Amino acid sequence: MNKQQLEQLLGEDLTGMSSVGGGCIADSQVITTRSGRKFFLKQGFSNGMFRKEANGLKELARPGVIKVPDVIDCGDDYLILEHIEQGSKKKDFFEDLGHKLALLHRFEGEHFGFFEDNFIGSTPQENIPSEDEAHNWPLFYWNKRLMFQFRLAEKNGYADNTMQHLFALLEKVYEKILEGSEEAPSLMHGDLWGGNYMSDIKGNPVLIDPAVYYGHREADLAMTKLFGGFSAAFYRAYEETWPLQEGASERESIYLLYHVMNHLNLFGTGYYSQAIRLLEKLIR
């Protein structure tokens, strides 16, 4: 989308367009209008990714418990968002984030998944459940998350005999691993690592770049452990707001596996060993 198209869409002249970091994959810019309004523009893909992101942000906004950027407009190859000025984290930032994430997870869906497939990073993420998967979290998670990534790894040449053998063994025990943790479908950010939250000008938490679906909240929390960036106060506040079920720490590995497999498929063999270690841990 060029300057002229943006001016027509926003209804006023632009006085500035500056490139900024916008995650790992999108071409992102802050655009400023003559009246001083600012917007965040993402471009660089024409596969419908931005429409899916817009729908995810709108879904996260529904409970009204944590700030996400307002969607101004989107198309197949662009997304215009409210520009949120970044500020220093307030003193109780992580307590607030943990509390609000628990409240977000309290927002229940009618079934697991989402009304549309979307993306996690640039990887497609299948969300539309079969009749059997809609109310069976272990089956949904196995088919739509772990097996999707495994088949992609096979296609990419990463799933060697060792990985194939370990996945075959995991298939026999995944239901037992998840047994006893049943809950209603929770609204999930879906890709909650340290780069996908920020603090606004007042120091309040904001969630960005989601991969939204309704799932088991432990999967959202597991992702926060992959690269760090969340303090002990965050987890303490979450637990105080809505305690996790017994055995959550033992189930962490099966939820981490999805994200490690996704990173293997996105970035290559640097994540292979980590995937194998998780698989070996899970089948012990």
| Joined tokens for residue 75 | 């198309």
pTM as predicted: 0.95
Angle at 137 between CA 197 and CA 170, to 5 degrees: 95
In a domain, 31, yes or no: yes
In a domain, 152, yes or no: yes
Is 160 catalytic? The answer is no
Given the residues 27, 92, 117, 191, select the one marked as catalytic.
191
In a domain, 88, yes or no: no
First vs last Cα of the chain: how many Å apart? Answer: 52
Question: Coil, helix or strand for 282?
Answer: helix
CATH number at residue 257: 3.90.1200.10
Give the pLDDT of the chain (284 residues) as one tens digit per residue.
Answer: 888 999 999 999 999 989 886 445 568 999 999 999 999 999 988 888 999 999 999 999 999 999 999 999 999 899 999 999 999 999 999 999 999 999 999 999 999 999 999 999 999 999 999 999 999 999 999 999 999 999 999 999 999 999 999 999 999 999 999 999 999 999 999 999 999 999 999 999 999 999 999 999 999 999 999 999 999 999 999 999 999 999 999 999 999 999 999 999 999 999 999 999 999 999 99
Domain count, the chain: 2
Contact 112, 135 (CB under 8 A): yes
Domain of residue 157 covers: 93-283
- Residue whose token pair is 């500035």: 16
Starting at the edge strand found earlier in the chain, the sheet holding 27-33 runs 14-20, 27-33, 38-43, 78-82, 71-75
